[in-house]
C-alpha cells in the first residue's frame, strides 16, 4: 500500500443483491430529508439457539449522530458487529444506499465505508504505535515498508485526537487512554461513510473526552454518519441527534435526542423507574486504617501522602496521567515505589500483591479484561484465584467447594450468567465487574481499592456497584475509589483527594464537593485552586 492509497472505494468486494422486502421498507423519509444511508430490516442474531438480537429495524442518515443505548446484554455490541461485518446476521437484512448487502468479514464492510471502533483495546502490544495504526495496510516505498512516512502520518492523526504518544513507542508502554486513542486513530486513518464508536470514552476523561467529541462533531459536519454507543448518558445527551433504545435484544424505540432527559433514557433502558443511583452516605468515619507518607513512583508520583479511615469512601480524582493508578500500583507492589506505609498503626512494606492480600488489602484493577480476569477460563477458577488455600487446602482441587463458592457469589452479587459452563469473557461488562468484586472480597479485606468501578457498565449495574461500596464501609471497612467520572466521585465518596502531574494537590471535603472544585484542582496551578476547594490542600488528619 503506497502513501497515495489511503482512500478506499466504497463498494469494492461487497456482495450486493437486488432490493428485497420492498413492502416492509416503503416508509420513506419525510419530504426534504436525505434518504437513509444505511437501513436494517428485522435484523436478528442467534448463538447456539439463544436469541441475542431480534427484529431490529433502524435508519441511519448521512451527517447524523445516532446514539444506541441499553443495559449490558441489550444487544448493542452485537448490532454493531452485524453492521460492521464482524458477524453475519441470522435474520433480516442490511441495506446500504437502498441495496441489500452482506459482508464477508470486517474488511469488506470497511471497503464499503463502514468502520467499527471497538470497545475492547484490540492492538498488538509488541508493535509500535505507528505499526498498529497501519497494521495490515502498511505503506511501502520502492518495495520496502516506509516507516518514516507511517510515523509522520500516525503522529499527525494522533495529534488531531490530542494524543501525544510517540509513534515509535511500543503499545505496551503507553497508558490505557493513549491506547484507545491509537485504536481510534487507526479507525479514522481512512475516510469512511459510517463510523461506529462502541464505548469510545470508557478509558478517557476530561479534556480527552471533549477532544474526541469535537472530532465526532467534525465527522458529522463532513456528512459522515456516526453510530455512538455509550453508558455515559451525558455524552449521549450532548451528541445524539437520535437515540435508539435497545432492551433484551429488541428495539424499544427511536427518539429525537433533544426530547430525552437522562432519567428518561434510564427508564427506557431498564423498563422501569430507576431509584436513586447513589445510596445515602450513612457511614460513620472511624479511626485511620491506612497512612501513607512520601510515596514516590519513579517519574510518575512524587511525595504523595494521605490517610484513609475505616467507614469512609475516599476518592482519588485527576486527569489521565495524573498518577492515581500508578500511586496505588506502587503502594501494592505492582511497580517499583518507595513509601512509608502504616496499617492500623503498624509499619509495613508491601512487595507484592500477594503480600497486600495477606495484609488485608484488596485491589480491583481498572483493566478487568487484561489484568483482572482470565477471560477464557470458567467463572469458578476466576473467583477463587486469590483465595486458593481456602478452597483447595492441600494438593487436591475441591471442585465441589469451589462450585458452592461460585453459587454464593452469584447470589450475593447478582451475577447474571447463562449456564455453569460460562466463561468470564462471555459475561457482560457489568457482570464481569461484579465477578471481579466478588473475587477481591472473597479474601475479606479491610481496605478495598477500586480503580474505575463502573467503567463500561450500564446504569442498573452501576447502582448495584455503588450499593456494594456503601455496604463495605457500613461494615467498618475502608474503600478507596479511583475514578475519571466526577459525578461518580461526588455521588459515592465522603471526601476526594485530587492529583495533578503526579502529586496530591488538594482535598475536597463533603460540603465543598462539586465538579467545579474538583476540576479546578485537577487542572489549575497555584494556591487559588486549593483555596477554592478547601482552606488547605491536605486536611489536619494527614500524616
Tens digit of pLDDT for each residue in 336-390?
Answer: 999 999 999 999 999 999 999 999 999 999 888 778 788 888 888 888 887 767 7
Whether the per-residue pLDDT at 449 is higher than 90: the answer is yes
More confident: 62 or 164: 62
Whether the per-residue pLDDT at 192 is higher than 60: the answer is yes
Inter-residue contact 117 to 142 (CB < 8 Å): no
Inter-residue contact 450 to 472 (CB < 8 Å): no
Whether the per-residue pLDDT at 7 is higher than 50: the answer is no
Q: What is the mean pLDDT of residues 422-442?
A: 88
CA distance 494 to 512: 11
pTM of the model: 0.63
Whether the per-residue pLDDT at 50 is higher than 50: the answer is yes
CA distance 2 to 402: 56
Q: What is the mean pLDDT of residues 275-285?
A: 82
In this predicted structure, what is the pLDDT of residue 467?
Answer: 93
Residue of 51, 45, 22 whose CA lies nearest to 92: 45
Whether the per-residue pLDDT at 11 is higher than 60: the answer is no
β-partners of residue 76 are none
Q: What's the whole-number average pLDDT of the chain?
A: 84
All cell numbers assigned to 176: 490505557
CA distance 282 to 260: 32
CA distance 542 to 504: 12
Highest mean pLDDT among 201-205, 391-395, 462-466: 462-466
Highest mean pLDDT among 2-6, 54-58, 173-177: 54-58
Lookup result for grid cell 430490516: 41
In this predicted structure, what is the pLDDT of residue 56?
Answer: 95
β 15-17/144-145 pair status: unpaired
More confident: 112 or 4: 112
Q: What is the mean pLDDT of residues 438-461?
A: 89
Q: What is the mean pLDDT of residues 445-453?
A: 95
In this predicted structure, what is the pLDDT of residue 21?
Answer: 32
CA distance 434 to 166: 35
DSSP string of 147-214, one letter each residue: HHHHHHHHHHHHHHTT----TTSBGGGS-HHHHHHHHHHHHHSS--SEEEEESTTTT--HHHHHHHHH
Q: What is the mean pLDDT of residues 403-409?
A: 86
CA distance 154 to 161: 11
Q: What is the mean pLDDT of residues 421-432?
A: 84
Q: If pLDDT is split at 50, 70 and 90, which confidence band does 134 have?
A: very high
Whether the per-residue pLDDT at 13 is higher than 50: the answer is no
Q: What is the mean pLDDT of residues 106-134?
A: 88
All cell numbers assigned to 396: 487436591
* CA-angle at 263, arms to 258 and 268, nearest 5°: 85
* List of domains in the chain: 15-270 (3.40.50.300), 275-360+446-543 (3.40.50.300), 369-444 (no CATH)
Phi, psi angles (nearest 5°) of residue 291: -125, 125
All cell numbers assigned to 215: 472530532
β 313-317/478-482 pair status: parallel
Q: What is the mean pLDDT of residues 468-480?
A: 95
Phi, psi angles (nearest 5°) of residue 505: -105, -5
Q: Cα Rg for the chain, rounded, in angstroms?
A: 25
Residue of 233, 241, 232, 229 whose CA lies nearest to 261: 233
Whether the per-residue pLDDT at 1 is higher than 60: the answer is no
In this predicted structure, what is the pLDDT of residue 214?
Answer: 87
Range with the poorest average pLDDT among 68-82, 260-274, 509-523: 260-274
More confident: 414 or 275: 414
Whether the per-residue pLDDT at 149 is higher than 50: the answer is yes
In this predicted structure, what is the pLDDT of residue 522?
Answer: 86
In this predicted structure, what is the pLDDT of residue 32?
Answer: 45
Q: What is the mean pLDDT of residues 131-142?
A: 89
Whether the per-residue pLDDT at 15 is higher than 50: the answer is no
Residues 285-296: tens digit of each pLDDT: 999 999 999 999
CA distance 164 to 157: 10
In this predicted structure, what is the pLDDT of residue 20?
Answer: 32
In this predicted structure, what is the pLDDT of residue 543?
Answer: 35
Helices 147-160 and 176-188 pack at an angle, to 10 degrees, of 110
* CA-angle at 489, arms to 205 and 509, nearest 5°: 125
All cell numbers assigned to 221: 459536519
Amino acid at each position: 500500500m503506497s502513501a497515495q492509497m489511503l482512500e478506499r472505494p466504497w463498494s469494492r468486494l461487497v456482495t450486493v443483491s437486488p432490493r428485497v422486502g420492498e413492502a416492509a421498507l416503503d416508509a420513506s423519509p419525510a419530504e426534504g430529508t436525505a434518504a437513509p444511508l444505511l437501513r436494517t430490516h428485522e435484523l436478528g442474531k442467534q448463538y447456539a439457539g439463544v436469541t441475542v438480537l431480534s427484529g431490529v429495524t433502524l435508519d441511519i442518515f448521512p451527517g447524523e449522530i445516532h446514539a444506541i443505548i441499553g443495559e449490558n446484554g441489550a444487544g448493542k455490541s452485537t448490532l454493531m458487529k452485524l453492521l460492521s461485518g464482524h458477524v453475519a446476521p441470522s435474520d433480516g437484512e442490511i441495506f446500504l444506499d437502498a441495496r441489500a448487502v452482506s459482508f464477508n468479514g470486517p474488511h469488506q464492510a470497511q471497503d464499503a465505508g463502514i468502520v467499527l471502533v471497538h470497545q475492547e483495546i484490540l492492538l498488538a502490544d509488541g508493535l509500535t504505535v505507528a505499526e498498529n495504526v497501519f497494521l495490515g495496510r502498511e505503506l511501502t516505498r520502492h518495495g520496502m515498508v516506509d516507516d518514516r512516512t507511517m510515523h509522520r502520518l500516525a503522529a499527525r492523526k494522533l495529534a488531531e485526537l490530542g494524543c501525544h504518544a510517540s509513534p515509535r513507542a511500543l503499545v505496551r508502554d503507553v497508558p490505557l487512554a493513549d491506547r484507545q486513542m491509537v485504536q481510534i486513530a487507526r479507525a479514522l486513518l481512512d475516510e469512511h461513510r459510517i463510523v461506529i464508536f462502541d464505548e469510545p470514552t470508557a478509558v478517557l476523561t476530561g479534556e480527552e473526552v471533549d477532544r474526541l467529541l469535537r472530532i465526532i462533531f467534525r465527522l458529522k459536519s463532513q456528512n459522515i454518519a456516526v453510530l455512538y454507543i455509550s453508558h455515559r448518558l451525558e455524552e449521549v445527551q450532548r451528541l445524539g441527534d437520535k437515540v435508539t433504545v435497545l432492551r433484551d435484544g429488541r428495539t424499544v424505540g427511536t427518539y429525537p435526542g433533544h426530547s430525552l432527559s437522562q432519567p428518561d433514557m434510564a427508564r427506557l433502558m431498564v423498563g422501569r423507574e430507576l431509584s436513586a443511583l447513589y445510596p445515602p452516605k450513612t457511614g460513620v468515619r472511624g479511626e485511620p486504617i491506612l497512612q501513607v507518607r512520601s510515596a514516590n513512583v519513579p517519574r510518575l508520583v512524587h511525595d504523595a501522602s494521605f490517610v484513609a479511615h475505616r467507614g469512609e469512601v475516599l476518592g482519588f480524582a485527576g486527569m489521565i496521567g495524573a498518577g492515581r493508578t500508578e500511586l496505588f500500583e506502587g503502594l501494592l507492589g505492582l511497580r517499583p515505589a518507595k513509601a512509608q506505609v502504616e496499617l492500623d498503626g503498624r509499619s509495613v512494606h508491601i512487595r507484592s500483591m500477594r503480600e497486600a492480600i495477606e495484609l488485608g488489602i484488596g485491589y480491583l484493577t481498572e483493566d478487568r479484561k487484561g489484568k483482572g480476569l482470565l477471560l477464557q477460563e470458567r467463572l469458578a477458577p476466576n473467583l477463587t484465584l486469590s483465595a486458593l488455600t481456602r478452597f483447595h487446602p492441600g494438593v487436591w482441587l475441591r471442585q465441589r467447594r469451589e462450585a458452592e463458592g461460585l453459587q454464593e457469589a452469584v447470589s450475593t452479587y447478582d451475577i447474571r450468567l447463562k449456564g455453569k459452563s460460562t466463561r468470564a469473557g462471555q459475561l457482560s461488562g457489568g457482570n464481569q465487574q461484579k465477578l471481579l468484586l466478588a473475587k477481591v472480597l472473597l479474601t475479606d479485606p479491610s481496605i478495598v481499592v477500586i480503580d474505575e468501578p463502573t467503567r463500561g457498565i450500564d446504569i442498573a449495574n452501576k447502582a448495584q456497584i455503588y450499593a456494594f461500596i456503601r455496604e463495605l464501609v457500613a461494615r467498618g471497612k475502608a474503600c478507596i475509589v479511583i475514578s475519571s467520572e466526577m459525578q461518580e466521585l461526588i455521588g459515592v465518596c465522603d471526601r476526594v483527594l485530587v492529583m495533578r502531574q503526579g502529586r496530591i494537590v488538594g482535598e475536597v471535603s463533603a460540603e465543598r464537593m462539586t465538579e467545579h472544585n474538583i476540576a479546578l484542582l485537577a487542572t489549575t496551578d497555584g494556591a487559588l485552586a486549593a483555596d477554592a476547594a478547601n482552606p488547605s490542600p491536605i486536611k489536619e488528619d494527614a500524616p
